[in-house]
């Protein structure tokens, strides 16, 4: 059991991936793992509390097994990057395992843990065989690479979940803001109707200040102090000049009334915010103001709420500015009302300049043409999810965007929220995975899968053109001793040099492929006849004879080959390859460093 089991299970369940439907991208990974390692079974497994569930599987019908019997439950424990069981019947951990003694009769297992960025091993990408076997270092690295790609897919899934949750949070915040506006309006109406205001009366010539009981209560004094409140002394020092200026402006007749927010000191020493609203209530015979009557509304709680809302908006801004995605709110006129910092970091667009402008103005005509159908759908109240291409700094990038309509309580669309991710790296990873499935990672030559496609195509062209073609099956003589003396790195260097020489010794139209280990095969199309085949075979054998220099050491390397000619008869590709393989065997019997014709 992993030491971090509770956190590991929490991370797994956070992905919401268990018991989901099959997905092609995971199916591609298990097919690729099975093909690379040459096993009948490939799996993407996730280890739950009591079970092992398969997100993707090939070669196995069961969707899950009990965790107690799962090989992968061992693979996720510890720090080993790969668990390999070459023969489960000889391994004390698994010899009595019902999956070994019974269906599916597991004998070989290799599993690479799927490890999150937080170090939690959630499961494995693994391959299984019913026969004991080994895998090469290249196959092991490929299996680990597929596990990392699976981790990347799961982390992308997690980011999508987080983005969806954040989008829901944005919607909740929008609803909360609308509710706050409604409540504020209701509160104002209640205050006006109830008259729960502090009333004050200022005699201008003498500065005498009279307060109502509610005014005294608001400031923490009893009603007996109504005639003695030192109102100017209660003003916050930073607000006195502002209050004086507002009153003098009104006294001069420049405003119809005086309204100002300011702070006053409560008797207990704290500061409260009040909304002061006043008008001239009495003038002298010559028109000079004598009295000002006004009200104080205690708005401290409102100020606190406003500050809390501003803090909430600041936190929301901080969160969205640090998301690896473009987050925006667009109104019904397609004008940006909110943009996070992503657009400035990645596109150089100034947020202050962009707000209030239309999407067409900010994003440009060429991009807007791609976005327009989805914008129109969102403004009809229809969620939209799509992929588009944009050029940034001269590079074409792919983005996945989600538009969520902003619908008010009356059912009217007020705009939409947009969340956009750069998926260029994901798409490039998918392309690399496809290339990895068709190309030998060591030599860069076509692999067995690509060769099997090409030989069928080559034979079809031979039949159509009535021109013979030939298959040359070869391997390196005594390659095991080369590996033993030079080490695996030296052996790999020899394989790469053999691949280069083979490519250089044949025509551009011919195919050189590496099937496995030191086995290579050549497709020679459009050969004129036996003499032409002999000449090409001699050239290939001779190209390998010059000494190989590996790590400063000269080493003699030779190759043996078997050649089979196809003349458009009823042979299929496996039969033609079998003829070449048999001829290779005869060439080895005759002393190696030569070829033999089928």
| Alpha helices, DSSP H, located in 38-136 | 72-75, 98-101
Phi then psi for residue 392, to 5 deg, are: -125, 120
Q: What is the CATH number of domain 5-153?
A: 3.30.450.40
CATH class of 195-298: alpha beta
**The tokens 């297992």 sit on which residue?**
109
Using DSSP, state whether 52 is helix, strand or coil: strand
Q: Which helix (H) or strand (E) holds 263?
A: strand 258-265
Q: For residues 120 and 118, what is the distance between their CA atoms, to the nearest angstrom?
A: 6
| Domain pair 195-298 / 438-597, same fold | no
C-alpha dihedral (428, 430, 434, 437), degrees to nearest 10: 110
Q: Where are the domains of the chain?
A: 5-153, 195-298, 312-427, 438-597
pTM of the model: 0.39
438-597 has CATH 3.90.1150.10 classification? no
Distances (CA, A) of 175 to 169, 170, 180, 181, 249: 10, 9, 9, 10, 40
The CATH number corresponding to 312-427 among 3.40.250.10, 3.30.450.20, 3.10.20.340, 3.40.50.720 equals 3.30.450.20
Q: For residues 392 and 402, what is the distance between their CA atoms, to the nearest angstrom?
A: 20
The CB density around residue 37, as the number of other CB atoms within 10 Å, is 23
Please, are residues 380 and 370 in contact by the beta-carbon 8 Å criterion? no
Among 403, 397, 387, 384, smallest CA distance to 347 is for 397
Neighbour order of strands in the sheet with 51-58: 64-66, 51-58, 41-47, 121-129, 108-115, 83-85
Please list the pLDDT of the chain residue by residue as tens digits (598 residues): 888 899 999 999 999 999 999 999 999 999 999 999 999 999 999 999 999 999 999 999 999 999 999 999 999 998 889 999 999 999 999 999 999 999 999 999 999 999 999 999 999 999 999 999 999 999 999 999 999 999 999 999 999 999 999 989 889 988 888 888 778 545 533 453 455 688 889 888 888 888 888 888 888 888 777 677 787 888 999 999 999 899 889 988 889 888 999 998 998 999 999 998 899 989 999 989 989 999 988 888 888 888 888 887 788 777 777 778 899 999 999 999 999 988 888 888 898 899 999 999 999 999 999 999 999 999 999 999 999 999 888 888 999 999 999 999 999 999 999 999 998 888 888 877 777 778 999 999 999 999 999 999 999 999 999 999 999 999 999 999 999 988 999 999 999 999 999 999 999 889 999 999 999 999 999 898 888 999 999 999 999 999 999 988 899 999 999 999 999 888 899 999 999 999 999 999 999 999 999 9
């Amino acid at each position: 059991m992993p030491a971090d089991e509770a956190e590991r299970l929490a991370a797994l369940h956070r992905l919401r991936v268990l018991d989901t439907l099959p997905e092609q991208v995971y199916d591609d990974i298990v097919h690729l793992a099975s093909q690379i390692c040459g096993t009948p079974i490939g799996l993407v497994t996730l280890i739950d509390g009591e079970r092992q569930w398969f997100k993707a599987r090939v070669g196995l019908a069961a969707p899950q097994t009990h965790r107690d019997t799962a090989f992968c439950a061992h693979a996720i424990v510890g720090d080993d990057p790969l668990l390999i069981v070459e023969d489960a019947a000889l391994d004390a951990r698994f010899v009595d395992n019902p999956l070994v003694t019974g269906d599916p009769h597991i004998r070989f297992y290799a599993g690479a843990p799927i490890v999150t960025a937080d170090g939690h091993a959630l499961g494995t990408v693994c391959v299984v065989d019913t026969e004991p076997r080994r895998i090469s270092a290249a196959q092991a690295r490929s299996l680990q690479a597929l596990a990392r790609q699976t981790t990347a897919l799961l982390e992308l899934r997690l980011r999508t979940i987080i983005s969806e949750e954040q989008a829901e949070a944005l919607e909740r915040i929008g609803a909360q803001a609308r509710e706050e506006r409604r409540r504020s309006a209701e509160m104002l109406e209640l205050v006006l109707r109830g008259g729960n205001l502090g009333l004050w009366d200022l005699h201008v010539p003498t500065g005498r200040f009279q307060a109502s009981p509610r005014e005294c209560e608001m400031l923490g004094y009893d009603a007996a102090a109504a005639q003695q409140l030192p109102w100017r002394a209660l003003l916050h020092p930073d607000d006195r000049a502002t209050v004086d200026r507002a009153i003098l402006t009104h006294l001069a007749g420049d405003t119809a009334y005086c309204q100002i927010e300011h702070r006053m000191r409560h008797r207990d020493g704290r500061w409260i915010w009040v909304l002061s609203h006043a008008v001239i209530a009495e003038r002298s015979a010559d028109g000079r103001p004598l009295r000002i009557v006004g009200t104080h509304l205690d708005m401290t709680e409102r100020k606190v709420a406003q500050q809390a809302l501003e803090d909430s908006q600041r936190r929301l801004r901080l969160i969205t500015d640090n998301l690896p995605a473009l987050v925006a709110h667009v109104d019904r006129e397609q004008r940006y009302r909110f943009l996070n910092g992503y657009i400035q970091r990645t596109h150089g667009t100034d947020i202050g300049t962009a707000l209030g402008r239309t999407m067409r103005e900010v994003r440009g005509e060429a991009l807007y043409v791609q976005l327009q159908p989805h914008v129109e759908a969102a403004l009809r109240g229809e969620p939209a999810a799509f992929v588009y291409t944009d050029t940034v700094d001269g590079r074409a990038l792919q983005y996945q965007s989600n538009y969520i309509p902003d619908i008010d309580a009356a059912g009217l669309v007020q705009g939409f929220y947009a969340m956009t991710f750069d998926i260029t790296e994901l798409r490039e990873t998918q392309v690399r995975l496809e290339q990895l499935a068709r190309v030998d990672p060591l030599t860069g030559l076509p692999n067995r899968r690509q060769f099997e496609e090409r030989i069928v195509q080559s034979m079809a062209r031979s039949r159509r053109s009535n021109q013979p073609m030939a298959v040359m099956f070869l391997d390196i003589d005594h390659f095991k001793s080369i590996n033993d003396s030079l080490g695996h790195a030296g052996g790999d260097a020899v394989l790469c040099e053999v691949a280069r020489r083979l490519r250089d010794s044949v025509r551009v139209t011919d195919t050189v492929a590496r099937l496995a280990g030191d086995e290579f095969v050549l497709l020679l199309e459009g050969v004129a006849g036996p003499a032409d085949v002999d000449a090409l075979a001699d050239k290939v054998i001779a190209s390998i004879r010059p000494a190989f220099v590996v790590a400063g050491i000269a080493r003699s390397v030779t190759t043996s080959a078997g050649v089979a000619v196809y003349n458009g008869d009823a042979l299929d590709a496996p039969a033609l390859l079998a003829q070449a393989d048999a001829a290779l065997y005869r060439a080895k019997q005759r002393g190696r460093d030569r070829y033999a014709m089928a």
